[in-house]
Homo-oligomer: A and B are copies of this chain.
Amino acid sequence: MKFYDCSTAPSPRMVRIFIAEKGLDIPTKQVDLRNGEHLSPEFRAINPYCTVPVLELDDGTRITSTQGCWRYLEETVPEPPLLGATPKERAIVADHVWHIEIDGWQAMTEGLRNSAPGLKDRALTGPENYAQIPALGDRGKLRAQRFLESLDDWLRDRAFLAGDRYSAADIMALVVVDFAGWLKIRLPEGASNARRWYEAVSGRPSAKV
């Protein structure tokens, strides 16, 4: 296997943490997003979506999404389970990951990509350019703030987002919270449940990657 990463980017960090939690050591190639390496003809031949993470399997198959990378690693290295241990847990983790992606991750990327001067015409990832939409940037920031506010209630009666067990839902939410800091959006001061959770998940060795 080979993992295409960018150590400063939040999106592949979701897979980096997952790999660390599984105790794996996968040969990794850094892709220099800052200098546009992902848009080069060489990288387009590897991933036409021009994004990381990419997981290259031993037969050459390339998986080009966090969801796909997670699924392959979970299926081939089941322990510790990060996508749920029982049918019900698996459904809950899938459900929560989806909501976190839509309401947290996508809100943040919309907020950032539609407002950062350095991302002009790069409002979406991928080979095509799309102009920034300022109103979408504003909406993204508002939604990211609301998402972070929602975490406290969510964690009122449980240690981790999907229940008693650490899961991919925690990985994605941790990455979103740290990413939100880029726009100075933070967990509310009084959010004691969310802050207790954040301390626990960001204190794990896997979070250092």
Contacts and interface: CB of A to CB of B under 8 A. Distances in A.
Assembly stoichiometry (copies): 2
Instruction: Name the prevailing secondary structure of the A interface residues.
Output: helix
A94 interface: yes
A49 B72 CA distance: 30
A63 interface: yes
A22 interface: no
Contact of A88 (B61, B67, B139): B61
Contact of A68 (B63, B68, B72, B98): B98
Interface in A120-156: 128, 130, 133, 135-136, 139, 146
A92 interface: yes
B91 A71 contact: yes
Interface residues of A, number: 35
Contacts of A68: 91-92, 94-96, 98
B133 A65 contact: no
Given A133-B133, A139-B130, A91 B72 contact: yes
A76 interface: yes
A142 to B, nearest CB: 9
Contacts of A128: 146
Interface of A: 49, 55, 57, 59, 61, 63-72, 75-76, 87-88, 90-92, 94-99, 128, 130, 133, 135-136, 139, 146
